[in-house]
Amino acid sequence: DIPAASRMTPQPGVPAEEAGAAVAAESSTGTWTTVWTDGLTNLDRYKGRCYDIEPVPGEKDQYIAYAAHPSDLFEEGSVTNMSTSIVGNVFGSKALRAPRSEDLRIPPAYSKTSKGPPHGIQVERDKSNKYGRPSLGCTIKPKLGLSAKNYGRAVHERLRGGLDFTKDDENVNPQPFMRWRDRFVFVAEALYKAQAETGEIKGHHLNATAGTCEEMMKRAEFARELGVPITMHDHSTGGFTANTSLAFYCRDNGLLSHIHRAMHAVIDRQKNHGIHFRVLAKASRMSGGDHIHGGTVVGKLEGERQVTLGFVDLLRDDFIDKDRSRGIYPTQDWVSMP
């Protein structure tokens, strides 16, 4: 089974038990009425089960509902299908005023059906020849408005100045002032020039996110032809299907993959509604990416120290034990996933 923890605020007059049952039913075999085709299958085998409900300390009318979903309900290796079921129509249930997916445990039997990250931390260190320290990089600013040539100039100055990598921001796509093919060429030139001047391996995250998967793959292929080692994809706006497709290509062609999380706050920022980032983090690790924005406890964006450190472990370690102080509800065993 895939057990999931959901924060729920029932509608006035709806008991917590009824709301919890609605969460489990809508995520599996349930619907709004009884149908005759229920007798044609084994509902006891395939239905989700709400097995525990606990109140949220300090919050009125909020509960954590624990529901188990049989793994047979999900397509093998499909983060898209898993998300459709666990965080799909249940969010429109009339029994709930506000639901939020807090966490889930992906069992090895299901996680092993996904290939996960194209390469992982160790392979990236081998490719970049950087050991014993974090990689140091930055995003090119201003993120919009530079010509392709000036963008490449900014990349070169930063790489020559000591950074290990630079990256496109999420907004950088083909725009009238800088088309993607021109940007790729000038960035590759800057990268090779900085490598020659410093004697170090350098990288740049080229944003391959596009309006279609076909266009995205075209950009990834051109990055490979130029020898730029890293592509980038916005997994929240681009979608898990596109992200997994790009991860497959990167794995087969020796490219590293960076996942940007633009739009995540629309989904995870509210405390009582949406999807917690730890759920998105687990889904992203399965979908495939060598690194991802995992949050920060400094800077301009919101973040909680212990919870952010919990994200880091979920994205990096093989085995993560249950630790509610860091927001980790169930134990997670990734086995050998990078």
Cis peptide before 142, with omega less than 30 degrees from 0? yes
For residue 300, give every residue at least 6 positions away whose Cβ sits within 8 Å of its Cβ, in sequence order, or none: none
Distance CA 10, CA 285 (A): 31
Determine the Cα angle at 9 with ends 91 and 331, to 5°. 75
Q: Strands 96-104, 2-10: parallel, antiparallel or unpaired by DSSP?
A: antiparallel
SS3 content of the chain, % helix, strand, coil (to 5): 40, 20, 40
> Which residues, listed in sequence order, are joined to residue 319 by a DSSP beta bridge?
333
Rg from Cα positions in the chain: 22
Distance CA 32, CA 22 (A): 10
Q: In terms of Cα–Cα distance, which of 131, 40, 43, 48 is closest to 88? A: 48
Q: How many CB atoms lie within 10 A of CB 219?
A: 23
- Among residues 141, 143, 271, 322, which one is catalytic? 141
Q: How many CB atoms lie within 10 A of CB 186?
A: 21
Q: In terms of Cα–Cα distance, which of 236, 232, 239 is closest to 213? A: 239
Q: How many CB atoms lie within 10 A of CB 150?
A: 14
Is 141 annotated in the active site? Answer: yes
Counting Cα atoms < 13 Å in the Cβ hemisphere of 202 gives: 30
Is 204 annotated in the active site? Answer: no
- Whether residue 102 contacts residue 282, with contact meaning beta carbons closer than 8 Å, is answered with no
- Among residues 119, 204, 258, 260, which one is catalytic? 260
Q: How many CB atoms lie within 10 A of CB 53?
A: 18
Residues with catalytic function = 141, 260
